[in-house]
Amino acid sequence: MAKEKKLVEAITAMEDDFAQWYTDVVKKAELIAYSSVKGCMIIKPAGYAIWENIQKSLDAKFKETGVENLYMPMFIPESLLEKEKDHVEGFAPEVAWVTYGGLNQLQERLCVRPTSETLFCDYYANEVQSYRDLPKVCNQWCSVVRWEKETRPFLRSREFLWQEGHTAHATAEEAKERTEQMLNLYADFLEKELAIPVIRGQKTEKEKFAGAEATYTIESLMHDGKALQSGTSHNFGDGFAKAFGIQYTDKENKLQYVHQTSWGMTTRVIGAIIMVHGDNSGLVLPPKIAPIQVAIIPIQQKKEGVLDKAYELKEVLSKNFKVKVDDTDKSPGWKFSEQEMRGIPVRVEIGPKDIEANKCVVVRRDNREKYEVSLDDLETKLGEILDTMQKEMFERAKAHRDAHTYEVKNYEEFKDTIANKPGFVKAMWCGDMACEDKIKEETTATSRCIPFKQERIADTCVCCGNPAKHMVYWGKAY
């Protein structure tokens, strides 16, 4: 029995050390392995399968809005990167440079892409000539490199996977519409498929993407009360177009600059799934994104007919669910712990007595609720259980977020809340970056977003007392 407990005992309780709990889970659930390249991770099959499901779902949603996939080079010439001043300054500290090709020093340094705005701009400058060439609505799935000082699996690594969409439009209105459309697509994806509630809003000038006119964001709250930026959509206006000379001839035969957008989601969102839904037994995966939804665990599997029945059930259930039979020679208790560690949404326990009674036991991963289910009704019941689990996981995460969201009206209350109550803090702000800087310096909290749904908590800025312009969500973040 002691041996069977080891899998869970190896996880530090999240109440004792949340950071160590997170590291334990990603390792013990075999989502990642550490690589010999410092700051880079190996995404193992269990982790990559989650990303594949995210990619498959998002890619289909993108294409429904007219998006086409392409692929850009991973290298960017230094001269190209420097064409947009704010952009290069924003990324300069994180850029990795290639200076040699083989044995020969390059005449011009190449950066390993931290993002691909400049490449897309260079491409669009050649592709777009007339209003008939617009809009350009493209996306690429790739990896990018940012030389982070401190790293943590999925949340912050020197190379990570993502998608980056880049579009070009004839008018500012079209660009704004696309920016909002993609943010809402991300928000709906997180809430409906990952069961993660989000706050939709706009980043402040200080926090927006380098070179953007406006950055929209979805912010989610982790179990430890820290915020995580979970997806962004940027409106570039015509700033990049002017820097790169992306012009088109309109219907009146006049030259105009295009208006651009960019939007992205990364493997960081896997970290969000872990930290929003996980518990002290490991992962808890939302059914809609889980690579395996149902684990069938045969009890006394060496007895005649047990494994046959397990595989018979798999064949039936696989028409509607992603199913795996655990036919290893481990004990049932170990298999239960392993299923829980890996976050598989439900398990089906089937043994000789169950077969005789034409039933099985179904156990939910999230709340460990057990059901005795007739084998004749199993397919229908599993569908109901998984649907209920998906909805209740979202409701629990939303209840947790709401319970850890606080309203404050003065600076002393703000500082006390940030220091002692992890979560989102809603407070009014005058719009002055000096106040934003002061808050960050004195509390380490940052503005997460100016929510689209505004509330008037007070008339004055929480920091300086001057007239307030916006209600802002603040918090400590990953």
3-class SS of residue 157: coil
Q: Quote the pLDDT of residue 467.
A: 98
pLDDT value for 9: 66
Return the pLDDT at 4.
46
Q: Helix, strand or coil for residue 418?
A: helix
Q: What pLDDT does 42 receive?
A: 97
Give the tokens for residue 290.
């889980």
Tokens of 269: 């969102």
pLDDT values of the chain reduced to their tens digit, one per residue, 478 residues: 344 455 666 899 999 999 999 999 999 999 999 999 999 999 999 999 999 999 999 999 999 999 999 999 999 999 998 887 777 777 788 999 999 999 999 999 999 999 999 999 999 999 999 999 999 999 999 999 999 989 999 999 999 999 999 999 999 999 999 999 999 999 999 999 999 999 999 999 999 998 899 999 999 999 999 999 999 999 999 999 999 999 999 999 999 999 999 999 999 999 999 999 999 999 999 999 999 999 999 999 989 999 999 999 999 999 999 999 999 999 999 999 999 999 999 999 999 999 999 999 999 999 999 999 999 999 999 999 999 999 999 999 999 999 999 999 999 999 999 999 999 999 999 999 999 999 999 999 999 999 999 999 999 999 999 999 999 999 999 9
> Which residues are paired to 59 by β-bridges?
none
Q: Which residues of 341-368 are buried (b: 16+ CB within 10 A; e: fewer)?
A: bbbbbbbbbbbbebbeeebbbbbbbbee
* Domains, the chain: 17-71+121-277 (3.30.930.10), 294-385 (3.40.50.800), 405-475 (3.30.110.30)
Distance between CA atoms of residues 307 and 321, nearest Å: 19
Residue 235 tokens, joined: 């409106």
CA distance 203 to 449: 5
Look at the block and give the residue holding tokens 């709401």. Answer: 402
Residue-level pLDDT at 1: 38
Total residue count of the chain as it appears in this document: 478
Task: Using DSSP, state whether 459 is helix, strand or coil.
Answer: coil
pTM for this one? 0.95
In Å, the largest CA–CA distance within the chain is 81
Q: What is the pLDDT of residue 93?
A: 87
Residues 35/73, Cβ–Cβ less than 8 Å: no
Query: Which H/E stretch holds residue 282?
Result: none
